[in-house]
Chains A and B, each alone.
Chain A
Amino acid sequence: MAELMQVSQRQSQLPAGARSSQGNQYLTFSLGGETFAMEIRCIREVIQFGGLTLVPLMPDFIRGVINLRGAVVPVIDLSVRFHRPPSDPSKRTCIVILEVGDEEHLSTLGVMVDNVSEVLEIMREDIEPAPSFGSTLRADFIQGVGKVGGQFVIILDVNQVVSVEELASLAASRGDGEAT
């Protein structure tokens, strides 16, 4: 499949020419008809959607777990995380495997997106800070707004969007609500 691709693990592993002091590389993808971008630095790979195992009694934003070459990796439905209806898996649906957290607590998890588009470089001067209002997304989810070919894409702050700490406590509060 065309949109299936292996992204280099870390930006530092890219050939020196691919990096620039002026900008960073971003992966753009679509979700619910909207285009988003995230820094390629925390992306490990992109795989086809499938092979999901449901974990019972978990909130809707946790779609389940997958087997990623022997490791059990949770998959987050980004759409639900953005308080939108759950994603409907199609042929083009992908799971973007991310590594988030700091050096000591690096966790691997996947996010479900409708399809991935391309990897592109956005110059620093083409990125504007997150708007304080006017977006349906939580402000801290947005790292900035990039201008790409006359279009605006929202650059997500991955560490906020899939903060393991926040997701885990959300999952826990759901569990408690269930017990009472």
Chain B
Amino acid sequence: MDLDRAKLTFIIEAHELLDAMETSLLAPDSSESVNAMFRAVHTIKGSAGLFGLDSIVRFAHTVESVMDRVRAGSLPFTPSLVDLILACHDHMARQIEELQEGEENGSPGTLAASEALLARLLPYMEETPNPHQANKSLVSPSWQHSPEEEESGQPTWHISVRFGEEILRQGMDPLSFLRYLMTLGTITHLTPILDRLPAGAAFDPEHCYLGLEIDLDAQVERQVLEDVFEFVREDSQIRIIPPHSKVEEYLKLIRELPEGDLYLGEILVQGKCLTPKDLEEALSTQRQEAMEGGTVQGRLLGTIVVQDQALPPAVVAAALDKQKRAKEKPSHELKVVKVQAEKLDRLVDLVGELVIAGASANTLAAKSMDSRVLEATAVITKLVEEIRDNALSLRMVQIGETFSRFRRIVRDVSQELGKSIELEIQGAETELDKSIVEKLSDPLMHLVRNSIDHGIEPLEIRRARGKPDTGSLSLNAFHESGSIVIEVADDGGGLNRQRILAKAVERGLIQDPAALTDQEINLLIFEPGFSTAESVSKLSGRGVGMDVVKRNIDELRGTIEVESYEGAGTTFRFRLPLTLAIIDGFQVLVEDTSYVIPLDIVLECLDLGPILESEQNHLINLRGEALPFLRLREVFETPGPFPARERVVVVQIGDTRAGIVVDRLMGEFQTVIKPLGELFRSVKGLGGSTILGSGEVALILDVNQLIQLATARRPNARPRLSTTA
């Protein structure tokens, strides 16, 4: 039985619902957002009930009750209540996380936290909290006041379930439905129906043959009961007969179900839905009808439905509403299809193979000199390119979701520090590869916290500097020449270059402070363990973090720029590749090893001309400009004599330009990045590998690391090469 799969769906949905709830909580002004919060909690409670997750159900139920009062307007949504509900939101998120880790009933710590929060929620609850209260409030007004309902305190519903044979395989546990029903009311009678159970060899232990006849005393709306069986509705026969229905309704049930009439009748009599007399009469009519023939019976069933006035109007309305929603649903599902990320990754992998295979076919076609073959491969190449772009676009997600998560962090952290900070988000619709987005949230988190903690000044200083009381923090994303740029900017105090320099000298990171450009000084803060904060706070200042940011961005093959004006603010700028999987590469050769340089950083290629000054300085004259260069052969310690003619590939990363000297230029091609694997985790200057059309493996250069590697080897080297800034 694969209960885990259904549970996983629940966990994924719960996370989504909690995200939606948080978004609404942070902008709680409209009634729509209050409704959205209520719905989120309600759905989580309902689904958790299906899995018998009592601790979640109980907690969510109380939150739901409070939210319901807010929704009804009987409770003002004060900032302190918003804070409390936010805390509850976080708690539910924790509960779901624990569930994900396999802790079904909640860890002792979480349970204690539950109690604490429940106690805080208590003042917001109605005077007599009653487990059925919230469900009652769900009931639409017309139904609530229906005369039938007020006759007796606990109306008895009759529920008749014949589970589909497949439900065990779908990860459903019949018991969980009973458990959830018990949270809604009291089960007064329960009879299992085992008639479908086959004998001997025909019995399949993975099939569900169970049926249930349930009498439930509960003050609920029909919709609530229908929702209980939401997940099994398709395969199972489910009939819900409302309290105080006419006798015909029960008789119809008896007629429609496959089991023997008498058997079912007796169950209903036991549950006091029918009197023995009713049953007697019904059975005799039935026998009569049977004698009159099949066509009559069909018509009769129809008329019973039409004549059936047992359903209160609210139920009909609810059913219609449900139908309408069911009709709307498929059209939504057509618009968005949820696909497992793994499947997409597999697709992108396959497209990668296709690109490689295509390159190989191209090479062969070019050798064959057959124009028809060339033409055919040209068409295929074009299609492969389109497929590649489409496949990659499937993995593209908007950065907005990641950005908006920071609203909460900015709110919490600034509150904690007593600062007033506004977060501005731009370019939320900018798309980038999902795998990049995932790796981006940590570095962004560090930078945002850093900006709030150290960047934006306390109120008094802001006033003294003539800045507005409210600090501004902005997250911005946009596309720029084939890469994605992400900025984190604040209008705070800016980096204190004097202090950074002093610290760097003290730590022995640099020898000659005068030789550094502003940009180079700014980048010193990314050195491991570097912190200029005078006080270590809970949030930042320990000097861990910035080097992690750098490492994360390096892993994404991205670069970092820092723009900072003392007293006016700091902007951190990440420049990232659009995708991690497939790049356009430029192939070069050293000795007989192929290397690939990402094409988007290649500016131009030229012959290695006369070298400026001396060989040791590694500078060449590029149209009057001194360009530093490195010989790949030297950096990689490749044995063999220098070729007579060497070539230079001029690359640019951010503001840094450099020349890479190689033996031969092989031209550009599309390439799939394959990681080099665990064995090569210490490798420097290489960003991965790829397979060429010839089947040979080529190594992809990490030019940034390569430059660092080359400078580290040279004595008296500056930490960076030239900048054009």
Residues of A at the B interface (CB closer than 8 Å) are: 51, 53-58, 62, 64-67, 70-72, 74, 105, 107, 109, 164, 167-168, 171-172, 174-176, 179
Q: Does B677 contact A (CB under 8 A)?
A: yes
Per the 8 Å Cβ criterion, residues 663-711 of B in contact with A are 674, 676-686, 689, 691, 695-699, 709
**A171 and B695: CB pair below 8 A?**
no
Which single member of B635, B699, B713 contacts A53 (CB below 8 Å)? B699
**A66 and B697: CB pair below 8 A?**
yes
9 intermolecular pairs with C-beta atoms under 8 Å apart: A53-B699, A56-B686, A58-B680, A58-B683, A72-B676, A72-B677, A107-B678, A167-B679, A172-B682
**B676 and A55: CB pair below 8 A?**
yes
**B682 and A175: CB pair below 8 A?**
yes
Number of interface residues of B (CB under 8 A): 30
**B676 and A56: CB pair below 8 A?**
no
State how many angstroms separate the Cβ of A170 from the closest Cβ of chain B.
9
State how many angstroms separate the Cβ of B669 from the closest Cβ of chain A.
15
Which single member of B594, B683, B689, B709 contacts A72 (CB below 8 Å)? B689
**B696 and A53: CB pair below 8 A?**
yes
A55: chain B residues at CB < 8 Å are 676, 680, 683, 686, 699
Per the 8 Å Cβ criterion, residues 539-596 of B in contact with A are 593-594
**B638 and A56: CB pair below 8 A?**
yes
A-B pairs, top 4 by smallest CB distance, nearest first, are: A56-B636, A172-B682, A53-B697, A175-B682
Q: A51-B695, A67-B691, A72-B674 are in contact. Are A56 and B679 (CB under 8 A)?
A: no
Q: Does B256 contact A (CB under 8 A)?
A: no
Most chain B beta carbons < 10 A, residue from A71, A72, A74, A105: A72
Q: Does B717 contact A (CB under 8 A)?
A: no
Alpha-carbon gap, A74 to B678, bound state (A): 10
A sample of 13 more A-B contacts (CB under 8 A), given A53-B594, A56-B699, is A51-B696, A51-B697, A56-B685, A57-B683, A58-B683, A74-B680, A164-B678, A168-B678, A168-B682, A171-B680, A171-B681, A171-B682, A171-B683
**B681 and A70: CB pair below 8 A?**
no
A168: chain B residues at CB < 8 Å are 678-682
A174: chain B residues at CB < 8 Å are 682
State how many angstroms separate the Cβ of A84 from the closest Cβ of chain B.
21
B638: chain A residues at CB < 8 Å are 56
Interface SS of chain B: mixed
**B712 and A70: CB pair below 8 A?**
no
Residues of B at the A interface (CB closer than 8 Å) are: 353, 356, 593-594, 635-638, 674, 676-686, 689, 691, 695-699, 709, 712-713
B713: chain A residues at CB < 8 Å are 179
A179: chain B residues at CB < 8 Å are 684, 709, 712-713
Alpha-carbon gap, A74 to B593, bound state (A): 15
State how many angstroms separate the Cβ of B388 from the closest Cβ of chain A.
16
B684: chain A residues at CB < 8 Å are 57, 175, 179
**A175 and B683: CB pair below 8 A?**
yes
State how many angstroms separate the Cβ of A104 from the closest Cβ of chain B.
12
Q: A54-B593, A56-B636, A56-B638 are in contact. Are A70 and B691 (CB under 8 A)?
A: yes
B593: chain A residues at CB < 8 Å are 53-54, 56
Most chain B beta carbons < 10 A, residue from A53, A58, A64, A171: A53
State how many angstroms separate the Cβ of A164 from the closest Cβ of chain B.
5
State how many angstroms separate the Cβ of B257 from the closest Cβ of chain A.
49
Alpha-carbon gap, A176 to B696, bound state (A): 29
Nearest chain-A residue to B357 (Cβ)?
A70
How many A-B Cβ pairs are below 8 Å?
84
A53: chain B residues at CB < 8 Å are 593-594, 689, 696-699
**A70 and B682: CB pair below 8 A?**
no
Most chain A beta carbons < 10 A, residue from B637, B684, B697: B697
State how many angstroms separate the Cβ of B287 from the closest Cβ of chain A.
62
**A164 and B712: CB pair below 8 A?**
no
Alpha-carbon gap, A168 to B679, bound state (A): 4
Nearest chain-B residue to A174 (Cβ)?
B682
B691: chain A residues at CB < 8 Å are 67, 70, 72
Nearest chain-B residue to A62 (Cβ)?
B679
**A67 and B695: CB pair below 8 A?**
yes
Alpha-carbon gap, A71 to B638, bound state (A): 25
State how many angstroms separate the Cβ of B229 from the closest Cβ of chain A.
39
Q: A54-B593, A70-B353 are in contact. Are A65 and B682 (CB under 8 A)?
A: no
Nearest chain-A residue to B633 (Cβ)?
A56
Alpha-carbon gap, A66 to B677, bound state (A): 13
Most chain B beta carbons < 10 A, residue from A51, A56, A66: A56
**B689 and A65: CB pair below 8 A?**
yes
State how many angstroms separate the Cβ of B675 from the closest Cβ of chain A.
8
**A74 and B681: CB pair below 8 A?**
no
**B678 and A56: CB pair below 8 A?**
no
**A57 and B637: CB pair below 8 A?**
yes
Alpha-carbon gap, A112 to B523, bound state (A): 45
Alpha-carbon gap, A177 to B353, bound state (A): 37
Alpha-carbon gap, A174 to B686, bound state (A): 16
Nearest chain-A residue to B709 (Cβ)?
A179
B681: chain A residues at CB < 8 Å are 168, 171-172
Which single member of B594, B636, B689, B695 contacts A57 (CB below 8 Å)? B636
Q: A72-B676, A164-B678, A179-B712 are in contact. Are A65 and B683 (CB under 8 A)?
A: no
State how many angstroms separate the Cβ of A158 from the closest Cβ of chain B.
15
Nearest chain-B residue to A64 (Cβ)?
B697
Nearest chain-B residue to A52 (Cβ)?
B697
State how many angstroms separate the Cβ of B326 from the closest Cβ of chain A.
43
Nearest chain-A residue to B689 (Cβ)?
A72
Most chain B beta carbons < 10 A, residue from A54, A74, A172, A174: A54
A74: chain B residues at CB < 8 Å are 676-677, 679-680
State how many angstroms separate the Cβ of B367 from the closest Cβ of chain A.
18
A172: chain B residues at CB < 8 Å are 681-682
**A71 and B636: CB pair below 8 A?**
no
State how many angstroms separate the Cβ of A180 from the closest Cβ of chain B.
9
Nearest chain-A residue to B686 (Cβ)?
A55
**A72 and B679: CB pair below 8 A?**
no
State how many angstroms separate the Cβ of A69 from the closest Cβ of chain B.
9
Most chain A beta carbons < 10 A, residue from B683, B684, B712: B683
B635: chain A residues at CB < 8 Å are 56
Alpha-carbon gap, A168 to B691, bound state (A): 23
B674: chain A residues at CB < 8 Å are 71-72
Which single member of A56, A67, A164, A171 contacts B697 (CB below 8 Å)? A67
Alpha-carbon gap, A74 to B594, bound state (A): 16
Alpha-carbon gap, A174 to B678, bound state (A): 15
Alpha-carbon gap, A139 to B672, bound state (A): 42
B594: chain A residues at CB < 8 Å are 53
B686: chain A residues at CB < 8 Å are 55-56
B353: chain A residues at CB < 8 Å are 70
Nearest chain-A residue to B675 (Cβ)?
A72
B689: chain A residues at CB < 8 Å are 53, 65, 72
Alpha-carbon gap, A72 to B679, bound state (A): 12
Nearest chain-A residue to B695 (Cβ)?
A67
**B697 and A72: CB pair below 8 A?**
yes
**B679 and A171: CB pair below 8 A?**
yes
**A164 and B679: CB pair below 8 A?**
yes
State how many angstroms separate the Cβ of A162 from the closest Cβ of chain B.
9
State how many angstroms separate the Cβ of B664 from the closest Cβ of chain A.
16
State how many angstroms separate the Cβ of A50 from the closest Cβ of chain B.
10
A56: chain B residues at CB < 8 Å are 593, 635-638, 685-686, 699
Alpha-carbon gap, A179 to B709, bound state (A): 8
State how many angstroms separate the Cβ of B505 from the closest Cβ of chain A.
21
